[in-house]
Amino acid sequence: MTTTTTPTAQITVYDVTLRDGNHALRHQASRELVRDYCQLADVSGVDYVEVGHGNGIGASSALVGFSLETDEVLLTTAREALTRKKLAVHCIPGFATVERDVLPALANGVDLVRIGTHVTEADTGAKHLTAVREAGREAVSVLMMSHMATVERLVEECVKVEGFGAQAVVLMDSAGHFSPADVTARISAIVDAVGIDVGFHAHNNLGVGIANALAALDAGATIVDGSSAALGAGAGNAQLECLAAVLVQEYGVDLGELTPFFRMGSLIAERAAGHLPKTTSSSVISALAGVFSGYAPHVQAIAEELNLEPALLWRELGARKVVAGQESIIREIARDLMDLS
């Protein structure tokens, strides 16, 4: 590595294993898994543990998949196991409402809420951000599918969320579409434009998840997302064990002992065996098409049911520029393709 070591680096490590990883588990994370994982994470160098359905609180649904456990069970279980670390949730306005989902999550002891919107639609989260701030908890804005906006538009949205009261803004590469140079350009521009902390959330569809996370840090991001055993949607996230090792070795970040990270990785490798994400031809195709990684199991299922080539579906989904939450369009597209052929 040729990165400059900054020994004073204050980097926030944000663990998404039990939330983004729930995509890989088809939202079937059990209370036992949450408890056991949180007990290990509690003595690790992570700062936040995010828990929930893959699409966040209030997202259990026929459209994207029903959760095995309720939000309440997931959060109270995690809260009980986390005595030192902060508990966080993801929240997508349009799925989750303040009254039904956000306030109960706060009542269950959530410290931080990430309000996730499609990259160009940040204003739909203003009310949710305000509700979290008013409750005295941390409110962070997440711009999902960030590859779908120009750098200029991205910066505009980041400035907007700072105005709404977001305490940090996190860029999600939800489709795993970026290369390190893309990340550098975007994070640099955002860091120049806003006064709040900036974070980055990688997906590994092109095999550059860790490289992208490091590019973000080098460009001035101070929050970095990782997932044990890379458990996450699509080809998974930046693998937390690797990320932690590099942060300690190359960036001089004080994460304490690395052993807990390895235990967390091993626990997930064991409990999620059969669901561990891999970078496959299909994940590369979906990344190039720029489609949300969470679509993968739905595309797979419909392709099998109707005997279609998944690549055809990915390309058509990409051409239509679908966003997260439009999973029901896959069947419509499949039918269109079949009528054509």
Partner 1 sequence: MRAAIIGTGNIGIDLAEKLLREHSLELIAMAGRRASSPGLARFEGRVKYLTADGVDGLEEHFDEIDVFFDATSADSHREHWKRLEGLGKAVVDLTPSRVGAAFVPGVLDHENQPGKPIHNMSMVTCGGQASVPMVSALARHVERVDYVEVSSSIASLSAGPATRANIDDYIRATENAARLASGADVAKSILVLNPVEPPTIMRTTVHMKGLLGDLATLDRTVRDAVDLVREYVPGYRLLVPPVQHAADVLTVSIGVEGAGDYLPPYAGNLDIITAAAVKTALDMVAVAS
Binding residues vs partner 1 (CB under 8 A):
61-63, 93-95, 97-99, 118, 120-121, 123-124, 126-127, 148, 320-326, 328-329, 331-332, 335
- Tell the smallest beta-carbon distance from residue 206 to partner 1 (Å): 23
Q: Of 98, 90, 137, give the one whose Cα is nearest residue 117.
A: 90
Q: Of 148, 175, 119, 212, give the one whose Cα is nearest residue 293.
A: 175
Are the C-beta atoms of 197 and 223 separated by less than 8 Å?
Answer: yes
Give the Cα separation of 167 and 271 in Å (integer): 34
- Tell the smallest beta-carbon distance from residue 214 to partner 1 (Å): 30
- Report residue 235: phi and psi, to 5°: -90, 15
Q: Which of 32, 336 has the CB closer to partner 1?
A: 336
Query: Which conformational region is residue 65 in: left (phi greater than 0), alpha (psi within -120 to 50 degrees), or beta?
Result: left
What DSSP element (H or E) covers 182? helix 180-193
- Tell the smallest beta-carbon distance from residue 136 to partner 1 (Å): 21
Classify residue 322 by burial, with Cβ atoms within 10 Å: 0-12, 13-18, 19+.
buried
Token digits of residue 160: 């907007």
Q: Which of 35, 335 has the CB closer to partner 1?
A: 335
- Tell the smallest beta-carbon distance from residue 322 to partner 1 (Å): 7
Q: Which of 127, 133 has the CB closer to partner 1?
A: 127
**Count of all residues that appear for the chain in the document:** 341
Determine whether 275 is an active site residue: no
Q: Which of 208, 317 has the CB closer to partner 1?
A: 317
What residue type is 107 in one-letter code? A
- Tell the smallest beta-carbon distance from residue 218 to partner 1 (Å): 30
**Interhelix angle for 71-81 vs 31-42, to 10°?**
30
Token digits of residue 308: 């279609």
Q: Which of 89, 223 has the CB closer to partner 1?
A: 89
What DSSP element (H or E) covers 112? strand 112-118
Are the C-beta atoms of 109 and 86 separated by less than 8 Å?
Answer: no
Q: Which of 236, 290 has the CB closer to partner 1?
A: 290
- Torsion sign over Cα 240, 179, 118, 167: positive
- Tell the smallest beta-carbon distance from residue 261 to partner 1 (Å): 35
What residue type is 332 in one-letter code? E
Token digits of residue 330: 């896959």
Residues with catalytic function: 23
